[in-house]
Chain A
């Protein structure tokens, strides 16, 4: 018996039906986000360097 192929998600997005409790969120942004962090994101954007999920 071979391994079951994984369910393929749609290129346009497939709703997964999980809850927020199932997810370990990492990057946050808010109306309270310090200006220094927003500036760092802006500079990363200019150089096309995204924030890494773990940090």
Chain B
């Protein structure tokens, strides 16, 4: 169809101009013969270019926060707004010093963990585990234990694990890790202190 040819050439030119001119976004126009049976009927200006009304225009790019986006619309229709930067969220964690209580078979480790989140964090939780030293690096002394997901902005829990008295001497410290659905997992954070005790390689109540 000869009448469609000038439109194709124009579309390529517009796409190139839009890429150069938009900075963080790009636009492309694709002729849509089915939607525009009579392309010479009317024109509108898109990004400073004369475009046949009803032509499909695609735009893609990145927000100022680096998020990719894309959308399409018809020339002559209202152009959708590019997505705003994602809302910020932040969380802070706290883990106390580990303490040791009792004696012999009745001894145990104890510590506390907290997390506070603000902004659009979604829901949050935390997990914690006691670690012990080994020649190949730290290892878990018990299993990971965690809280349930909550939309509350603050979680605050105390934890304990038993000592396997007489099982061998190692260095012990607890670690914790916070999670928020709007951010993901935070870093593993350990207590300031650690304790050298003869509690073996594995907690009796992991």
Residues of chain B lying within 8 A (CB to CB) of residue A50 = 131, 175, 187-190
B160 x A10 contact (CB < 8 A): yes
Count how many pairs of residues, one from A and one from B, have CB atoms less than 8 Å apart in the complex: 130
CB distance from B177 to the nearest CB of A (A): 8
What separation, in Å, do the CA atoms of A5 and B186 have in the docked complex?
34
CB distance from B49 to the nearest CB of A (A): 36
Q: Which of A5, A18, A19, A27 contacts B189 (CB 8 A)?
A: A27
Q: Chain A's interface: helix, strand, loop or mixed, by majority?
A: loop
The count of chain A contact residues (Cβ–Cβ below 8 Å) is: 36
Q: Which residue of A lies closest to B127 (CB)?
A: A13
Q: Which residue of A lies closest to B153 (CB)?
A: A20
CB distance from B68 to the nearest CB of A (A): 16
Q: Which residue of A lies closest to B116 (CB)?
A: A20
Q: Chain B's interface: helix, strand, loop or mixed, by majority?
A: strand
Which one, B8-16, B24-32, B90-98, is touching chain A?
B90-98
A16 x B156 contact (CB < 8 A): yes
CB distance from A7 to the nearest CB of B (A): 8
B192 x A52 contact (CB < 8 A): yes
B158 x A29 contact (CB < 8 A): no
Residues of chain A lying within 8 A (CB to CB) of residue B169 = none
Q: Which residues of B contact A (CB under 8 A)?
A: 86-95, 99, 101-102, 108, 110, 112, 114, 116, 119, 131, 137-138, 142, 145-147, 153-154, 156-162, 175, 178, 182-183, 186-192, 205
